[in-house]
Chain A
Amino acid sequence: MWLADLIGGVVVLLLGLAIVFFSWQLSYMSEYGPGPGFLPRWIGFGIIGCAIVIIIKILRKQDKTGAFFKPRTKMGVSVLIQIAIAFLLLPLVGFSIGLGLFVGVSMRTMGKHRWISCSITAVVTAIAIHFIFGHWLSIPLPTGVIGW
Chain B
Amino acid sequence: MDLLHNLYIGFSIALTWTNIFYCLVGVFFGQIVGVLPGIGAPTAIALLLPLTFTVNPTSALIMFAGIYYGVAYGGTITSVLINVPGESSTVMTCIDGYQMALKGRAGAALSIAALGSWIAGTASVIILMTFAPALAKFALRFGPSEYFALAAMAFGLLTVFGGDQPIKIVISTLVGLLLATIGLDIVSGLPRFTFGTPQLLGGIDFIVIICGIFGVTEVFNSIEEPEEGELIKQKMRLRDLFLTWEEWVASRWAIVRGAVIGFFIGMIPAGGITTASFLAYLAEKRYSKHPERFGTGAIEGVAAPESANNAASISGFAPLLALGIPGSPTTAVMLAGFMMWGIRPGPLLFQTKPDLVWGLIASMYIGNFLLLLMNIFLIPPFVAILRLPYTIIMGFIVIFASVGAYSVNNNLFDVWMMLGFGVLGYVMKKLQYPIVPLVLALVLGRLAENSLRQALTISGGSLSIFFTRPISAIFIIAAILAYLTPVIRWGMKGLRRAKMDVA
Interface flag for B130 (CB, 8 Å): no
- Asked if A106 and B51 sit within 8 Å, CB to CB, the answer is no
- Asked if B452 and A35 sit within 8 Å, CB to CB, the answer is no
- Asked if B457 and A32 sit within 8 Å, CB to CB, the answer is yes
Complex Cα–Cα for A121 and B461 (A):
61
Listed in ascending order, the chain A residues whose CB lies under 8 Å from chain B are 4-5, 8, 12, 15, 19, 22-23, 26-27, 29-30, 32-36, 38-40, 43, 46-47, 50-51, 53-54, 57, 68, 70, 72-73, 75-76, 79-80, 83-84, 87, 90-91, 95, 99, 102-103, 106-107, 110-111, 113, 121, 125, 129, 133, 137-142
Chain B nearest Cβ from A141, distance in angstroms = 7
- Would A26 and B406 be within 8 Å (CB), given that A19-B178, A43-B177 are in contact? no
- Would A43 and B181 be within 8 Å (CB), given that A36-B188, A50-B167 are in contact? yes
Q: Which of B32-40, B275-283, B408-416 contacts A (4 or more CB under 8 A)?
A: B408-416
Interface flag for B230 (CB, 8 Å): no
- Asked if A70 and B224 sit within 8 Å, CB to CB, the answer is yes
**Chain A positions within 8 Å of B226 at CB level:** 72
Complex Cα–Cα for A15 and B38 (A):
30
In the complex, what residue of chain A is closest to B410 when comparing beta carbons? A140
Count of chain A to chain B residue pairs whose CB atoms are closer than 8 Å in the complex: 151
Specify which of A8, A30, A79 is in contact with B223 (CB 8 Å cutoff).
A79
Specify which of B174, B185, B225 is in contact with A70 (CB 8 Å cutoff).
B225
**Chain B positions within 8 Å of A4 at CB level:** 430-431
- Asked if B431 and A26 sit within 8 Å, CB to CB, the answer is no
| Majority-rule SS of A interface residues | helix
Q: Which of B81-89, B91-99, B343-351, B390-398 contacts A (4 or more CB under 8 A)?
A: B390-398
Complex Cα–Cα for A107 and B394 (A):
9
**Chain B positions within 8 Å of A141 at CB level:** 403, 406
- Asked if B430 and A68 sit within 8 Å, CB to CB, the answer is yes
In the complex, what residue of chain A is closest to B423 when comparing beta carbons? A80
Complex Cα–Cα for A69 and B170 (A):
25
List 5 extra interface pairs beyond A34-B453, A103-B391, CB under 8 A. A8-B427, A39-B181, A50-B170, A75-B223, A142-B412
- Would A40 and B181 be within 8 Å (CB), given that A50-B170, A111-B389 are in contact? yes
- Asked if B395 and A125 sit within 8 Å, CB to CB, the answer is yes
What are some 17 contacts across the A-B interface (CB < 8 A)? A4-B430, A27-B188, A29-B461, A40-B181, A40-B193, A43-B174, A46-B174, A50-B167, A54-B168, A70-B224, A87-B412, A110-B394, A111-B390, A121-B392, A125-B399, A139-B403, A142-B406
- Would A33 and B457 be within 8 Å (CB), given that A12-B171, A40-B193, A125-B395 are in contact? yes
Specify which of A8, A47, A139 is in contact with B175 (CB 8 Å cutoff).
A47
Complex Cα–Cα for A70 and B167 (A):
25
- Asked if B171 and A47 sit within 8 Å, CB to CB, the answer is yes
In the complex, what residue of chain A is closest to B223 when comparing beta carbons? A76
**Chain A positions within 8 Å of B433 at CB level:** 8
Interface flag for B192 (CB, 8 Å): yes
**Chain A positions within 8 Å of B416 at CB level:** 87
- Asked if B394 and A106 sit within 8 Å, CB to CB, the answer is yes
In the complex, what residue of chain A is closest to B402 when comparing beta carbons? A99
Complex Cα–Cα for A70 and B223 (A):
11
Chain B nearest Cβ from A63, distance in angstroms = 14
Complex Cα–Cα for A43 and B457 (A):
19
In the complex, what residue of chain A is closest to B391 when comparing beta carbons? A111
**Chain A positions within 8 Å of B225 at CB level:** 70, 72
